[in-house]
Structure 1
Amino acid sequence: MLPESDSSRNFDGRFRRPLPAKGVPMYRKLFSPIKINKLEIRNRIVMPAFGLLFCGPDRRPSERLRNFYEARSRGGCGLIIVGGVGIDLVGSGVITPSIESDEFITDWEIFTDAIHRHGGKLFLQLFHAGRYQHSFLAKGMQSVSASAVASRYTKEEPRALSKDEIIEVEDKFAAAAARCKKAGVDGVEIIASAGYLICQFFSPLTNKREDEYGGSFENRMRFGLEVIAKVRAAVGKDYPVTMRLSGNEFMPGGNDSKEIIKIAQTFEAAGVDAFNITGGWHETKVPQLPAVVPRSAYTYLAAGIRRAVKVPVYASNRIVEPEQAEKILRDEAADLVCVGRAQIADPEWAKKAEQGKAEDIRPCVDCLQGCMDRLFSGKPVECLCNPMAGYEAERKINRVKKPKVVAVIGAGPAGLEATVTAAKRGHQVTLFDHAEDIGGQLSLVAAPPGREEFGRLIDYYRHQMNSHGITLKLGKEVTAQAIRRIRPNAIILATGSRQSRPPIPGIDLPHVVPAWDALLDKADIGREVVVLGGGAVGIETAIAIADRGTITGETLKFLLKHQAESPETLFELCTRGNRKVTILEMLPKIGGDIGHTNRWVFLKELELLGVGVVTGATVKQVTPEAVVYEQDGQQKVIAANTVVMALGARPNDEIEAELKSGGFQYVKIGDVKQPRKIIDAVHEGFLAASEI
């Protein structure tokens, strides 16, 4: 049996509050009911709107979309918000579900019944992207906005809406809300966040109008207020009308948190029943979603608005664990909590928390590989941690009638998922690995600053192994003889990959260390560091090394509270460690293997930490004091007393020949098949175990 992680501590190392007395619910506030307008919701857990790309070109709510959300209602979520749901084609394009005409009402009735069947409530988020709409997704139509201000997000310029068109859009919002009510949907959320249309009107950054819809605060608010007034008139006083709002636009020239509070108060007076608070726009240069964002980082925005209004307020962004959610509510920072990607990772997040089984929650590690990276690539959402997300009808853990003896070789992400899935299906599973503990490359990914969340996935697998009676053979070289001893009916080979060591002169010198050793702090690192390779591993290793020696968050808080240093000094202490780090990359740019939603964050982190980047550089030699490389036909030298290799990986398939010679039949999964991303390894592990 594996030792469980230390449950007496929470994620940031501070001791958790004592467990409640026997008979007292563990998350009493989280699972208390609440009303929005006159609608009672069974708990404070909200599944916020999320682009999933589960609908076809007919823009109807598909069976796949319905299955996905029904699983979350069955799993105990109190309020599910589906969106964005289009009110017209130019505002939402062909990839989002729609409620722009009466022909969609029946589809949403069926959808609503599926949510209600399990006790959940349903809101639709009424959506108009404005200048954030790509013309190619709107059948070539030019996007519209308050003014003709080009978008860095779409690289297109919208046209300004005429007054008549403004009234038409307002009427479309109202008509869509009326259809929601007719379909039995419990309420609506009007999106006025992320830089979408309503936001574009009340932000001075995008509203340059000189008529009654632009200029003064009152004029910039006019469009949004008229939308709310018409929606309220269409649905009546007792129907929930809520709003998604960015608590700070995080845009130079845009609305800051103080101005948004005034905006929220104005909308509350106009009849908004609740506010769902996030932060930023799509063009914002402040990270909002990746794991580098601290947990609950934007809860302060919800708390500020909650102090200024009397209606319920939801906190959003990086809320992943029940204890964290409970603390937000107990601290009076919000009335409800949005648990979005964490419920993609585990549709039974709410049910498991309520039953006191938080250790069984399949965690979200905020990697963005399966959700946001796929979304921005125009692909339906999946999940690194949950291979069943988006495949609720096709992929299930079905118990077998005749259990088999299964050997899994390799305790990395592919092997761990295969082991746990096979055991849950009823098989007798033995997991082999030469390492002393499980994790494999998950341990490497969890090492850089801001990536610690991956450690929670290891903890999840550890707990599942202890719960399902899996036999572990760790810390010994895996041989065919050891496999033969258990007489397996099925063998899964998941031995992962190992780092490549190219034939560069000097690459075997003692100060040249593998990136994996540097990440795990198994190597001595000097003050002048050159990282060979600008892919994901090289970048994350460079960040990890450059970050060492910067001050901690607790130290920063202490110095700020006591005004001990100037803001400039504090910034330097946060961004300058004790080493000079440079990346050498052969290609024209670095980070080509990193997804869209993480790449810019990593590049910004390199810049903030002062990491040098040299592209188009071919390494010719490593000497005891330097690295010699060629760039643009010229030979150059850079000083280095530590050289870190991050030059790719190759399959770790040494045992395969022994298995073949022993006559074993086996299936290969993960990096031993071909080095790729962790999401590929986890999904292959699930599918391989599902076929036994």
Structure 2
Amino acid sequence: MKYKKLFTPVKIGSVEIKNRFAMAPMGPLGLSDSEGGFNQRGIDYYVERAKGGTGLIITGVTFSDCKVETQSMPNCPNSTYNPVHFIRTAREMTERIHAYGSKIFLMMSAGFGRVTIPTNLGEFPPVAPSPIPHRWLDKICRPLEVEEIKSIVKSFGDGAYNAKRAGFDGVEIHAVHEGYLLDQFAISMFNQRTDEYGGSLENRLRFAREVLEEIKSRCGDDFPVALRFSVKSMIKDWREGALPGEVFEEKGRDIQEGLEAAKLLVSYGYDALDTDVGTYDAWWWNHPPMYQEKGLFRVYCKMVKEVVDVPVLCAGRMDDPDMALKSLEDGDCDIINLGRPLLADPDYVNKLRCGHTDEIRPCISCQEGCMGRIQEYSMINCAVNPQAARERATAYEPILKSKKVMIVGGGVAGCEAARVLATRGHKPQVFEKSSRLGGNLIPGGVPDFKEDDHALARWYEVQLRKLNVPVYLNYEVKKEDVLNSGYDAVIIATGSSPKVFSLGDDAHVYTAAQVLNREKDCGGTTVVVGGGLVGCETALWLAKQGKKVTIVEALDRLMAVNGPLCHANKDMLERLVPYNGIEVVTGAKVTGFKDGVLTVKIAGETKEISCESVILSVGYREENSLYHELEFDVPEIYLLGDARKVSNIMYAIWDAFEVANHL
């Protein structure tokens, strides 16, 4: 078996893990109850990943401090808020996880400090090691008193003791990583203290050392304690992160200090280092969007592994099993951390073990269902997997009678509806007017950084084939086809079409889809009209080919109406645009294109831009005419995806799942 090495055991401290896969910690927003225990959604969510074969489950961040940085409840679990209740709910979860041969660590946090996300953690004065600027708010943080540090340290011992009683196999400390509170103490840029917690590297790591010593004293040396650790900060300045390949002066922790810190932390007794790079000031490193290369942390993990003698865990878009295998063979790391890939497919590990790699549902790194919803709504989900963190509420509904269902449109909404209907025992048939399934995934997945869009389209092809769903390509359905077919139900998922308007010389005015699909050549200089997500990604793709690109946007900033986009995705794309030489003109209205000159109006003044072509990326219009032709003639008819309302991949999939699961 090609991937057998990925299924060899490994130890963290005294705990043996059955394979080399861990579930990376991801914010457990929505998985706690009002007493700080795990709610049923949280229990089901983690158990499902254990059932799927993951060797080690690392929960999302939980808290133990109830005095210094108080949390809004319910939010994340808290191991000391109501200890009896925490142990009771967590025990149910750990017992079920152990039934599948998996181990589970509780991630315990010292707090967020200057990086608290206001929508998640309520309104309270932000704290930090020193009076430094908050990451998001226009506020200066309050320095922690020594007594408060001691209080937090003690809470770790109490919380870890409760975790051990609850059946957890170990804990992971959150974190000398990403600029959280412990990391703020460890980084001299943030830590300006002159007491025993400031100054030298050893003093700045004192907080992390005392946390470890407190837990070991309460739980014993054989209770493993791992640490989430960032070896390099990637900070150019306050709230300014570096881009991949950018030459800059590191203001946070550089690699030299990072490796020295790694050696010190292991000498203190940490049993594993869960390693990455980045901070909230450079958020697109710790939460890598599709614009980051896959496996971006491997080189940094290898540096750490070469100077420590404990297991090193590596996350960061590690869903390619060939890459994961090579990382083990090359000595980059000991354990592969899968975060978002296990949101997308909880059965990833078992499918890989059995060689069914074509059945693994891909993560597309959009972060709309996970980080986007965490930052906006305090809940973790997944754009491509509607059942993630809702396993019981969205379990497949049993059917009494199988129905024959006609699905018009083979985009993501039509494909997801067909998949769910066939899984439940209905008999769907898909009719697609183009030559392949996928809809807007096809042009959207053309840029190399969007390759997983095409992977998702292929996944749907595989799923429908395995479920024996008839698919009719190059078939444009008419009203008569539906009325004369004898279907029990009809789903219209005919998608959307790009909005277009005349600019004069329309022979050289194209849609983004035409250029992405290579139906039209935009030439060496082009203007993209529309600075939304599609416009910016198209411009970036073209600029990377060496073309001179200008974006013209009517609003005062790029991506003003997209959302909820994760800050990591949005902020990185905003910075990649100028970094790749793309000129941006905002507050501008295009008025015409003639003889290679585009005219735009900005604040009443006319500006001329020379270009070989103009690419329109000004949104999409619902294609719902067939639905309206049929809505009074078909008793059971549904309108889904962009045909119902132009939105994003997540809502197309989610809405299709909802309807198909209750049809």
Corresponding position of 1:317: 316
1:187 Cα deviation after fit: 0.4
Change (3 A) 1:116 1:529: same
Corresponding position of 2:272: 274
Whether 1:31 aligns to 2:7 is yes
Q: Which of the numbers 582, 585, 589 marks the counterpart of 2:557?
A: 589
1:151 Cα deviation after fit: 2.4
- Distance in 1 between residues matched to 2:122 and 2:373, nearest whole Å: 22
Whether 1:622 aligns to 2:593 is yes
Q: Which of the numbers 78, 82, 98 marks the counterpart of 2:59?
A: 82
Change (3 A) 1:302 1:91: farther
Query: Aligned partner of 1:120: which letter?
Result: S
- Distance in 2 between residues matched to 1:429 and 1:162, nearest whole Å: 64
- Distance in 2 between residues matched to 1:285 and 1:384, nearest whole Å: 20
Corresponding position of 2:512: 515
- Distance in 2 between residues matched to 1:286 and 1:321, nearest whole Å: 20
Query: Aligned partner of 2:509: which letter?
Result: V
Q: Which runs of 5+ in 1 are unaligned?
A: 1-24, 549-576
Corresponding position of 1:531: 528
- Distance in 2 between residues matched to 1:591 and 1:421, nearest whole Å: 33
Whether 1:653 aligns to 2:612 is no
Query: C-alpha deviations, 1:504-549, integer Å up to 9, x for none?
Result: 441x62001111101111102122211111112211221122121x
Query: Aligned partner of 2:51: which letter?
Result: R
Corresponding position of 1:93: 71
- Distance in 1 between residues matched to 2:428 and 2:541, nearest whole Å: 36
1:585–1:618 Cα contact (<8 Å) kept: yes
Whether 1:178 aligns to 2:161 is yes
Whether 1:475 aligns to 2:451 is no
Corresponding position of 2:247: none
Query: Aligned partner of 1:363: which letter?
Result: P
SS across alignment from 1:29: helix
Query: C-alpha deviations, 1:127-160, integer Å up to 9, x for none?
Result: 0222223577666432222212112244432222
1:428 Cα deviation after fit: 2.0
Query: C-alpha deviations, 1:323-348, integer Å up to 9, x for none?
Result: 33222222221111101110111111
Q: What is the TM-score of this pair, normalised by structure 1?
A: 0.88
1:353 Cα deviation after fit: 1.3
Whether 1:106 aligns to 2:88 is yes
Query: Aligned partner of 2:141: which letter?
Result: P
1:91–1:133 Cα contact (<8 Å) kept: no
Corresponding position of 2:43: 66
SS across alignment from 2:227: strand
- Distance in 1 between residues matched to 2:284 and 2:234, nearest whole Å: 7
SS across alignment from 2:573: helix
Matches within 5 A, 1:540-689: 540-548=537-545, 577=546, 579-592=547-560, 593-594=562-563, 595-597=565-567, 598-660=569-631, 663=634, 665-689=636-660
Change (3 A) 1:136 1:425: closer
- Distance in 2 between residues matched to 1:174 and 1:600, nearest whole Å: 38
SS across alignment from 1:476: coil
Query: C-alpha deviations, 1:441-460, integer Å up to 9, x for none?
Result: 01122122411111110110
Change (3 A) 1:677 1:312: same
2:182–2:208 Cα contact (<8 Å) kept: yes
- Distance in 2 between residues matched to 1:477 and 1:140, nearest whole Å: 54
1:662 Cα deviation after fit: 6.1
SS across alignment from 1:518: helix
1:670–1:680 Cα contact (<8 Å) kept: yes
Corresponding position of 2:373: 374
1:153–1:283 Cα contact (<8 Å) kept: no
207-216 vs 323-332, which deviates more?
Answer: 323-332
Query: Aligned partner of 1:679: which letter?
Result: M
- Distance in 2 between residues matched to 1:685 and 1:106, nearest whole Å: 37
1:398 Cα deviation after fit: 4.2
SS across alignment from 1:384: coil
Change (3 A) 1:475 1:641: same
1:163 Cα deviation after fit: 2.2
Corresponding position of 1:20: none
Q: Which of the numbers 220, 225, 229 marks the counterpart of 2:213?
A: 229
Corresponding position of 2:98: 116
Corresponding position of 1:199: 183
1:113 Cα deviation after fit: 2.0
Whether 1:238 aligns to 2:218 is no
1:250–1:285 Cα contact (<8 Å) kept: no
2:279–2:285 Cα contact (<8 Å) kept: no
Change (3 A) 1:135 1:360: closer
Change (3 A) 1:614 1:56: farther
- Distance in 2 between residues matched to 1:684 and 1:135, nearest whole Å: 29
Change (3 A) 1:207 1:663: closer
SS across alignment from 2:274: strand
Corresponding position of 1:337: 336
1:56 Cα deviation after fit: 4.2
- Distance in 2 between residues matched to 1:314 and 1:163, nearest whole Å: 32
Corresponding position of 2:150: 167
SS across alignment from 1:583: strand
- Distance in 2 between residues matched to 1:400 and 1:339, nearest whole Å: 34
Corresponding position of 1:563: none
1:365–1:454 Cα contact (<8 Å) kept: yes
- Distance in 1 between residues matched to 2:212 and 2:152, nearest whole Å: 12
- Distance in 2 between residues matched to 1:436 and 1:259, nearest whole Å: 55
- Distance in 2 between residues matched to 1:201 and 1:150, nearest whole Å: 14
1:427 Cα deviation after fit: 2.0
Query: C-alpha deviations, 1:156-176, integer Å up to 9, x for none?
Result: 322222222222222122221
Whether 1:46 aligns to 2:19 is no
Change (3 A) 1:202 1:342: same
- Distance in 2 between residues matched to 1:74 and 1:262, nearest whole Å: 38
Query: Aligned partner of 1:488: which letter?
Result: Y
Q: What is the TM-score of this pair, normalised by structure 2?
A: 0.92
1:485 Cα deviation after fit: 5.8
Whether 1:125 aligns to 2:107 is yes
1:298 Cα deviation after fit: 0.6
- Distance in 1 between residues matched to 2:519 and 2:15, nearest whole Å: 56
Query: Aligned partner of 1:676: which letter?
Result: S
1:671 Cα deviation after fit: 0.6
407-416 vs 482-491, which deviates more?
Answer: 482-491
Change (3 A) 1:178 1:667: same
Corresponding position of 1:388: 387
418-427 vs 457-466, which deviates more?
Answer: 418-427
- Distance in 2 between residues matched to 1:427 and 1:234, nearest whole Å: 55
400-409 vs 610-619, which deviates more?
Answer: 400-409
1:86–1:92 Cα contact (<8 Å) kept: no
Query: Aligned partner of 2:566: which letter?
Result: H
2:172–2:226 Cα contact (<8 Å) kept: yes
Whether 1:407 aligns to 2:406 is yes
1:603 Cα deviation after fit: 1.0
Query: Aligned partner of 1:79: which letter?
Result: L
1:91 Cα deviation after fit: 3.5
Q: Which runs of 5+ in 2 are unaligned?
A: 236-249
Corresponding position of 2:243: none
1:135–1:142 Cα contact (<8 Å) kept: no
- Distance in 1 between residues matched to 2:93 and 2:636, nearest whole Å: 45
